[in-house]
């Protein structure tokens, strides 16, 4: 007889053997006992938690020759056929392979026939979310008014992809992840039955790797037995599955606390050389810090090996909670960045260095608070050891900039002047320099004015473009205040605009007149006599 893997060999055969799903098994047993059987069930939950196994147990309970019963005998022909998957009245369909509407129509034709040897014809459709929308729509009428002797049991890991109209026609049961403690206990019982010697730490590593799935745990256990035979050690388990022990993460945290980035990176490189998956490394370190945070909050962590508690409690005294939260947020962001990076090792190394330098960083909230309070910031003192400094080479002079704005040096304060053209010309650069302090744009415009003239108490400034005129009008108060500081009289500003004529327009107009004069001497004489202009 061929070898049967543990996941199949130890598959639950009755409600009592289903692990950690009491909230589902108790309701189903009560429904069977009271003969309140629904026509459609929807089992949802993670992989490997018992959805399809419980569907088979449900089918055996309903079609057992001694049933319906909450405790199928597993000895009658119906139970044996259902267990072997050969029953003609219990049909298992993989929706991933039968996604189309044609498959559902074939199923609907089969519904017309009564069960051959059982009380119910039961359809177990696994991964039902893989059905197409048209296939779902074809099922709607059947689910609403099914034959009396037909029961549908749907199983899925992604209920959000199932049409709401399908879910509303079913009784939904949500399966939960199996706790690590339950998986460890199951593996321990199994190892005794199989005559396998395995230590507790190895059991916890396998259970943690299974991520809440009993089937995954049994498959991992099977793999470990194939390699280690009847004596499974923690070293071999780590070698097979690439596990990094929590003691190594503990050492990483000590390096971070000591701000020893060099040793941390060296240890990280040795981990990479063992072929450790980066995503799994980040996930495990996230879990490690999560446990630290929960322990600091006084929350019991059930998924933890009791022998490792002293390590976490010791680390908890070294790290404040806010620092652990920063570290966790950086790790979460890093895990997302690793997926899209061409050089994931660089990202992970940079992250580890950043974690070592967290004490030198300052969070945004505290910076905003300092800015709001008006606190000044000083440049931190240099940490370079002056005793070991060597003489630095002389600093090379930087090249002169290609363009620099003219700088005007103000003269010492003096008595105010009379406002006239001569004093205006003498004081113009001083006026521009003072205007530059208030508006650089206005200073540039004043340097390029077409003319400036002092007439009485009025300063007439002529500009060449409309934007320059608009700029000066916006800075009238500024210029007026500066003139009041330099001149005795209260100077009134007057701006005017002279727009230059378009050369192209002049060229076209003159050429047109010359052409007209050349073509008609009479019109030319009329234009010269009347000084007329033709538009």
Identify whether 14 is part of a domain.
yes
What mean pLDDT value characterizes the chain? 80
158 in Cβ contact with 128 (< 8 Å) = no
**In the 3-class helix/strand/coil scheme, how is 205-267 assigned residue by residue?**
HHHHHHCCCHHHHHHHHHHHHHHHCCEECHHHHHHHHCCCCHHHHHHHHHHHHCCCHHHHHHH
Looking at the structure, do residues 21 and 170 belong to the same domain, yes or no? yes
Identify whether 490 is part of a domain.
yes
Task: Give me the pLDDT at residue 44, please.
Answer: 92
Identify whether 20 is part of a domain.
yes
Tens digit of each residue's pLDDT (9 = 90 or more) over 177-233: 988 888 999 999 988 988 889 888 888 888 888 888 899 999 999 888 888 888 888
Looking at the structure, do residues 111 and 191 belong to the same domain, yes or no? no
Tens digit of each residue's pLDDT (9 = 90 or more) over 119-175: 889 999 888 888 888 888 888 878 888 888 889 999 999 999 888 888 988 999 999
Looking at the structure, do residues 214 and 153 belong to the same domain, yes or no? no
Residue 439: give its domain's CATH number. 3.30.300.180
Task: Give me the pLDDT at residue 391, please.
Answer: 46
Q: Is 331 helix (H, G, I), strand (E, B) or coil?
A: helix
Looking at the structure, do residues 134 and 215 belong to the same domain, yes or no? no
461 in Cβ contact with 479 (< 8 Å) = no
pLDDT of residue 379 exceeding 60, the answer is no
Task: Give me the pLDDT at residue 42, please.
Answer: 93
Q: Into how many domains does the chain fold? A: 4
Give me the domain span that covers residue 237.
Answer: 180-241
- In this prediction, residue 398 has a pLDDT band, given cuts at 50, 70 and 90, of very low
Residue 91: give its domain's CATH number. 3.40.50.300
How is residue 394 written in tokens?
């002389």
Task: Give me the pLDDT at residue 499, please.
Answer: 56
Looking at the structure, do residues 199 and 314 belong to the same domain, yes or no? no
Identify whether 506 is part of a domain.
no
pLDDT of residue 82 exceeding 70, the answer is yes
Residue 302: give its domain's CATH number. 1.20.272.10
Q: pTM for the complete prediction?
A: 0.58
Tens digit of each residue's pLDDT (9 = 90 or more) over 322-361: 888 888 888 888 877 877 778 888 888 888 888 888 876 6
Identify whether 65 is part of a domain.
yes
Spatial distance between the Cα atoms of 448 and 424, rounded to a whole number of angstroms = 16
Contacts of 288 (CB under 8 A, 6+ apart): 246, 249, 253
Least-confidence region, from 217-221, 457-461, 517-521: 517-521
**In the 3-class helix/strand/coil scheme, how is 381-434 assigned residue by residue?**
CCCCCHHHCCCCCCCCCCCCCCCCCCCCCCCCCCCCECCCHHHHHHHHHHHHHH
- In this prediction, residue 506 has a pLDDT band, given cuts at 50, 70 and 90, of very low
Identify whether 188 is part of a domain.
yes
472-495 core/surface letters (b: 16 or more CB in 10 A; e: else): beebeebbeebbeebbebebeeeb
Structure-model confidence comparison of residues 269 and 277, the more confident one: 269
pLDDT of residue 54 exceeding 90, the answer is yes
Length of the chain: 535
Identify whether 284 is part of a domain.
yes
Q: Which of 190, 214, 241 is the last residue of a domain?
A: 241
Closest CA relative to residue 183, chosen from 154, 208, 165, 219: 208
Q: Which of 217, 241, 265 is the last residue of a domain?
A: 241
- In this prediction, residue 55 has a pLDDT band, given cuts at 50, 70 and 90, of very high
Q: Is 379 helix (H, G, I), strand (E, B) or coil?
A: coil
Q: Which of 343, 360, 377 is the last residue of a domain?
A: 360
Looking at the structure, do residues 138 and 188 belong to the same domain, yes or no? no
Identify whether 169 is part of a domain.
yes
Residue 195: give its domain's CATH number. 1.10.8.60
């Amino acid at each position: 007889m061929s070898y049967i893997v543990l996941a199949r060999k130890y598959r639950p055969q009755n409600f009592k053997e289903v692990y950690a799903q009491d909230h589902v098994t108790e309701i189903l047993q009560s429904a069977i006992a009271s003969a309140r059987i629904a026509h459609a069930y929807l089992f949802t939950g993670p992989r490997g938690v018992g959805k399809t196994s419980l569907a088979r147990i449900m089918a055996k309970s309903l079609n057992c020759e001694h049933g319906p019963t909450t405790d199928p005998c597993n000895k009658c022909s119906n139970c044996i056929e259902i267990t072997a998957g050969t029953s003609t009245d219990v049909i298992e369909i993989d929706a991933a392979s039968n996604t189309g509407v044609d498959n559902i129509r074939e199923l609907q034709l089969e519904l017309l026939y009564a069960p051959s040897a059982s009380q119910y014809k039961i359809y177990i459709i696994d991964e039902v979310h893989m059905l197409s929308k048209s296939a779902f729509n074809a099922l709607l009428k059947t689910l609403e008014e099914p034959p009396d002797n037909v029961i549908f049991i749907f199983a899925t890991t992604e209920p959000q992809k199932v049409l709401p109209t399908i879910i509303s026609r079913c009784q939904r049961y949500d399966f939960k992840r199996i706790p690590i403690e339950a998986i460890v206990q199951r593996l321990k019982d199994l190892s005794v039955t199989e005559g396998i010697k395995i230590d507790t730490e190895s059991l916890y590593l396998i259970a943690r790797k299974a991520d809440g799935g009993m089937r995954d745990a049994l498959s991992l256990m099977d793999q470990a037995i194939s390699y280690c035979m009847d004596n499974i050690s923690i070293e071999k388990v780590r070698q097979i599955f690439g596990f990094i022990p929590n003691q190594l993460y503990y050492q990483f945290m000590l390096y971070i606390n000591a701000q020893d980035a060099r040793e941390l990176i060296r240890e990280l490189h040795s981990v990479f050389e063992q072929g450790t998956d980066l995503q799994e490394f980040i996930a495990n370190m996230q879990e490690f810090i999560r446990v630290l945070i929960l322990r600091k909050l006084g929350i019991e962590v059930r998924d933890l090996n009791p022998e490792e508690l002293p390590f976490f409690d010791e680390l908890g005294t070294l790290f404040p909670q806010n620092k652990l939260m920063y570290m966790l947020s950086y790790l979460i962001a890093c895990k997302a960045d690793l997926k899209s990076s061409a050089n994931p090792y660089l990202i992970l190394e940079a992250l580890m260095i950043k974690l070592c330098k967290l004490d030198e960083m300052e969070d945004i909230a505290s910076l905003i608070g300092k800015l709001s309070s008006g606190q000044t910031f000083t440049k931190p003192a240099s940490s370079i050891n002056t005793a070991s400094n060597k003489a630095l080479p002389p600093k090379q002079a930087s090249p002169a900039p290609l363009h620099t704005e003219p700088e005007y040096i103000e003269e010492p304060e003096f008595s105010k002047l009379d406002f006239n053209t001569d004093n205006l010309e003498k004081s113009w650069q001083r006026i521009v320099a003072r205007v530059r302090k208030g508006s650089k744009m206005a200073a540039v415009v004043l340097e390029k004015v077409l003319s400036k003239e002092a007439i009485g108490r009025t300063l007439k400034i002529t500009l060449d473009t409309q934007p320059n005129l608009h700029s000066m009008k916006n800075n009238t108060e500024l210029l007026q205040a500066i003139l009041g500081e330099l001149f005795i009289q209260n100077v009134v500003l007057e701006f005017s605009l002279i727009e230059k004529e378009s050369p192209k327009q002049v060229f076209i107009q003159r050429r047109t007149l010359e052409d007209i004069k050349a073509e008609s001497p009479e019109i030319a004489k009329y234009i010269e006599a009347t000084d007329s202009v033709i538009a």
